[in-house]
Structure 1
Amino acid sequence: MVITEGCANRPGGAQAKFLAEVGESEHNRNLTLTLQAFRDFQAGHQSVGPGARDLVSFFESVETELLQDTTGPQIKRSDQEVINLLSQRAGTLHLGIANYCWFIDPDKALCLKLGQTKDRSRPLAGMCDSARCPQATHHPCHRPVWASAAVSSRVFIGKISRSQKAEKARLTAEAERAPTSSPPSTRPSPPPLEECMGRISDTDRTRNEAAIRAAMDRLLRGELPPGGRCDLKTLAAEAGVTRTGFYPKKDRNGSVREGPYQHLSDEFVPSGGPPGGREGARTPETPRSHA
């Protein structure tokens, strides 16, 4: 109130300046939240919701862009390069009570369809149904809100009389649709910054290869971490490198080049399994004994 009154009481008013300051503050906040969502994605904390697949696909494209070898003389190793790649998506972010709304396409916004409004420049947060809207996502920071709502819903549904079967069925369906938990992590630990932000030095590559070989020896001896398997995913996590380094890369011009650690994945042959623990790969042939 004090800030708005101060702007309004200036000679001629300064509402435009105030709105510009608010817009800049919101933009910086959205950049911070989008960057945090990307870091959560790298750490294996996947988002959920109808728009999660599209967001994950976008984050994967950003990660691929960062993994491309830098041909210029200078290599950026700060968050600024990531922010530059995320800035356009951050401009579409709107905050809900228990979700993020990535307002990219007004035609997909469920709230605009329900509200039938003529103004399609922004979503209608009050009519958001984030369990159905294809542009809504839920993140770890929203977990407490959904968990609290689930508890309240169960208590309320339990108090509905038997005569209100239709209402009870409707509320039960809504409660079951709510994302009360996050899916398990399907990604390894985030890669070292030098791998994520550009070309790594020969010293770092040598150190990483030594860590990979040491992890290979442990896994092949049967020293598996809790919940781990003798595969490339566990190998990457144990060595502290990104799993994409074990696979070929496709450049922007369409050419394919070998991943920095692809030669090590070919050497990684678990006992009784395919190279690198990959299904469908050929295993070394065992010589047959002739009677």
Structure 2
Amino acid sequence: MLRGRRQGERVAVGPGAARLHAGLDKVIATIDNDPQLRAQIADKRVEEALLADEFPNLHLGTVNHCMFDAPQAECQDELPEEQRGLAPLIGACQPARCRNSTITRAHAPYWVAEEDDLIALSKDLRLSPPNREAVFVRLADVQRITRALEEEGTA
């Protein structure tokens, strides 16, 4: 991601993409403005250390990456107050809605496949009206991401 961002690419979409891009830009600026770091840039460990400092709560996932910040985390809403803020609840993740969520081109195949599945499911005449409505709500969320990925040329 850092290499792509250094080349000016928008490396992620989704609700948390702007925050991810800002953090990556900060790491790049730190490297570019520090002569010692610039001399060591061939050392991936330096990049990894800077990224770990900038994104201490980054959780890499199959369908998205989570930059866990508890107050912004959709997954924390259902927890009792005393249990909030400890870690993301991956099973309760709403990647198309949560401000911590970023989706990269590596995630695109999963989103495209889910969109295809939801479109097929929406045509099932056996679906009850509430279930059909839930499918369309989820489809709208998924299409928000797949359209953004298409705009980036990654879907």
5+ residue gaps in structure 2? none
Whole-Å Cα distance in 1 between the matches of residues 11 and 60 of structure 2?
A: 18
Give the one of 135, 141, 144 matched to 2:100. Answer: 135
* Count of residues paired in the alignment: 145
Whole-Å Cα distance in 1 between the matches of residues 114 and 16 of structure 2?
A: 21
Paired residue for 2:58? Answer: 93
Paired residue for 2:72? Answer: 108
Give the one of 28, 34, 38 matched to 2:2. Answer: 38
Paired residue for 2:112? Answer: 147
Letter in 1 for 2:75: C
Letter in 2 for 1:84: A
CA contact (8 A) 1:115 1:127 kept: no
- 1:163/1:92 CA distance change after superposition, 3 Å: closer
Name the SS of the counterpart of 2:49 in structure 1.
helix
Which structure's residues are more often helix, by fraction? 2
CA contact (8 A) 1:50 1:131 kept: yes
Give the one of 140, 152, 155 matched to 1:184. Answer: 152
Whole-Å Cα distance in 1 between the matches of residues 91 and 128 of structure 2?
A: 31
Paired residue for 1:62? Answer: 27
Whole-Å Cα distance in 2 between the matches of residues 75 and 83 of structure 1?
A: 15
Greater Rg by CA: 1
Q: How does 1:188-207 map to 2 (within 5 A)?
A: none
CA contact (8 A) 1:45 1:140 kept: no
Name the SS of the counterpart of 1:118 in structure 2.
helix
- 1:96/1:114 CA distance change after superposition, 3 Å: farther
Whole-Å Cα distance in 2 between the matches of residues 117 and 160 of structure 1?
A: 42
- 1:151/1:117 CA distance change after superposition, 3 Å: farther
CA contact (8 A) 1:102 1:136 kept: yes
CA contact (8 A) 1:41 1:47 kept: no
- 1:49/1:58 CA distance change after superposition, 3 Å: same
Paired residue for 1:52? Answer: 17
What TM-score, normalized to structure 2? 0.79
Instruction: State the structure with bigger RCO (CA 8 A, min sep 6), 1 or 2.
Output: 2
Letter in 2 for 1:112: Q
Whole-Å Cα distance in 2 between the matches of residues 168 and 141 of structure 1?
A: 29
Shift of 1:65: 1.9
TM-align CA RMSD: 2.4
- 1:175/1:106 CA distance change after superposition, 3 Å: same
- Give the percent of matched residue pairs that are identical in Structure 1 and Structure 2: 23
Name the SS of the counterpart of 2:59 in structure 1.
strand
Name the SS of the counterpart of 1:101 in structure 2.
strand
Whole-Å Cα distance in 1 between the matches of residues 14 and 108 of structure 2?
A: 12
What TM-score, normalized to structure 1? 0.45
Shift of 1:83: 1.9
